[in-house]
Structure 1
């Protein structure tokens, strides 16, 4: 795309529609070749799937979703803004990720240099290759239409790379090393206490009582019958759900004394 192609035309270069004779005519552009055509031509050429740009001499393959409404009147500004967004999304680093303020300033200068290379088409191929290598090395998502080839993966894959290195591609300098956290042990609700069943044993005679019953009877509370009996015995021997006062009252056939409500109110009223 030449700089002369970036000046917005007064009419559609494909069908020749003019806004003066077609009120409400809307134009769309794409961020690959930056050609500007009317919305009707976009629908006619790209509704069936991927196709080449209909502007004469342009053979860029595009999807319909890649055409969008123009934001800036000057297409040169439109192109530069898109390049800045793409580079900033790839090289997204914050000041706290660097060792010193000088390292962060050097990174900003590097990013601006890459942007200017793409804007003015200076070493454009080398700049795009650096961005692709950085994205692949850092596990970033790249354009699906430019999927990495096997050769790209082999060239960007480095052996014996220190996992603490923040940028395996080596493009950005001065980054702090990654802090690798140790894997945490799985949560243990018993906090390491042994859960050995030394004080009881579930015998087959207990399980035999359930034989001959429907299948539903073998699946009590989500357990099979053996697990259910085991859980019940564990709760009984561990004292879960057992209150001493209730047990003693049942044994002695006496009710648990309930304090008088008035006495409780007087005791609580300390003022």
Structure 2
């Protein structure tokens, strides 16, 4: 959107050319391109009227033999026709596979259903086993005709309910703004009236400090009463138009586990322990060469001798349970070893050519 609030015109390539008549937008500023969902080949509106105005005809693009009808031509929504085709396919599949989470007993069944739907959609988009995917789509539509219509009706009701709630929320916001303005005006009027009453009382010889305190307390009390009345009125209006209501939707029934697992504290390592199995790290190993490493001049930069102890012991015990002989018998020969053996077996020659 531009600074003046105007919506900019869509991007139009002056070199865009109709593949049928080869007219360019540079010479025809009012040129409009259209597509047919049968093949998604783009052509200008003049070619569409000229070729298909008398009835169905074959697509004029070379290599495309699909029969097209004038009524199905439309302006593309996206510049990328591959995206246009994918959106149309997903919309067509969604009209048939329109079940929701509330139609399933378990979350696994719902996820399996979504996976099957995505498989069909992917095959249609990528032209993989198209006939099989179309057959599956038609079979599901025929077997679940009543359910599909019921879900379409439910989806329409959901959209209508959402729009009604949006309108109710907008109306409620307008009422709150109007009430706030009224409250502000009422507060200003009461302050002015209270000021006049205070001046009259002071002229009559009353105590200024006492009269001022009483006036402020009276104004606070009236303001509190007015706010409570306003809140009750807004709450009543929201309950009446349904904007404050909500529904909880989910699975038909929640299948609980037979044995509830005891809730454990959160562990970011998922039970993985750093406890060593074969050794216990000691505080000191009594070697004078290690004792000097505990001095401040060595540990000032953060060096810790216990990290060295731990690494050395871990390397020492990491080979337990690994039998090198068995491993060498089962493993294939290394590339370098096999190459060396082959070189040793072949006769030596001084001729490098």
TM-score bracket, normalised by the shorter chain, equals 0.3 to 0.5
Greater CA radius of gyration, 1 or 2?
A: 2
TM-score (norm 2): 0.36
The normalised TM-score by structure 1 is: 0.47
